[in-house]
Amino acid sequence: MAVEHELTRSQYRWIAIGAGIIAATGFARTYYLRFLFHTPDLPPLVQIHGAIMTLWCIGFIIQTWLIEARQIRLHQRLGIGMAALATIVVLLGETLTVNGVAEEARLHQLGKFHYLLGINSVNLLLFAVLVGLGIAFRGKPDVHKRLMVLAAVTLLAPAVARIVLLFTHKPLRNSSPFIHAFYCVWRSTLSGTVVSTPCSRSAH
């Protein structure tokens, strides 16, 4: 039983690392590696947003590692900062979403990321609810960790959208393999397992 428990903690850490890789890939051209792609300079607010989201991803990875290393007290202390960071993520993300939609409306232009702008508010609301529930259930580790993973996965939607558009040049509704993979991650975490999902057909 002890080995199985350790494997579960390790898998949560790898999920966190995987989430960070997806985020970095999705925003490589426009943020992390923009100097290689000659991307125009970003407005200060967007740069701050990118930095905050990067901190969230790094903090999430650290939190899963702390649990794996059984550093519970340090995990709890860092959790206070993560809760504050999550609040900034929601407020700043919603501000940029509203600004983006307003700019498209002003230009009478529907860019290829218009769908992304449309779902951002829903994603941010889900993220806020899941983080709030995660904090409320922090005394129940099995529930808390799944809620926080779901919150982190919710934030990946914009990155996944950019990856889809980058490699397929198709609208998101026509990119079923990517959407199916995103859906599988949601189901696997929500069902209370890490690798035992209808997609993988495997169990602990």
pLDDT one-digit tens code per residue, 68-87 = 889 999 999 999 999 999 99
Instruction: Write out the residue range of the structural domain in which residue 117 sits.
Output: 2-161
Kindly write down the DSSP assignment for every residue of 86-149, as one continuous string: HHHHHHHHHHHHHHHHHHHHHHT---TTHHHHHHHHHHHHHHHHHHHHHHHTTTSHHHHHHHHH
Q: Render pLDDT for 14-63 as a digit per residue (tens, 0 to 9).
A: 888 998 999 998 888 888 888 888 888 888 999 999 999 999 999 999 99
Q: Which residue has the higher pLDDT, 75 or 122?
A: 75
Residue 159 — pLDDT band, cuts 50, 70, 90?
confident
Count of CA atoms in the C-beta half-sphere (13 A) of 103: 10
Please name the residue that has the structure tokens 């960071």: 85
What pLDDT is stored for residue 116 in this prediction?
Answer: 56
Q: Which of 40, 21, 22 lies closest to 30, judged by CA?
A: 40
pTM exceeding 0.85:
no
Task: Establish if 185 belongs to a structural domain.
Answer: no
In a domain, 132, yes or no: yes
Q: Is residue 61 part of a domain?
A: yes
Determine the pLDDT at residue 202: 40
Query: Residue 193: what pLDDT?
Result: 38
| Cα dihedral across residues 58, 192, 144, 179: positive or negative | positive
Please check whether residue 85 lies inside any domain of the structure: yes
Token representation of residue 72 = 């519970």
* 179 is a domain residue: no
> How many domains does the chain divide into?
1
In this predicted structure, what is the pLDDT of residue 199? 45
* Domain presence at residue 74: yes
Q: Is residue 175 part of a domain?
A: no
Residue 137 has pLDDT above 60, yes or no: yes
Q: Which amino acid makes up residue 18?
A: G
What would you report as the CA-atom Rg of the chain, rounded to the nearest whole angstrom? Answer: 18
Query: Is residue 136 in a domain?
Result: yes
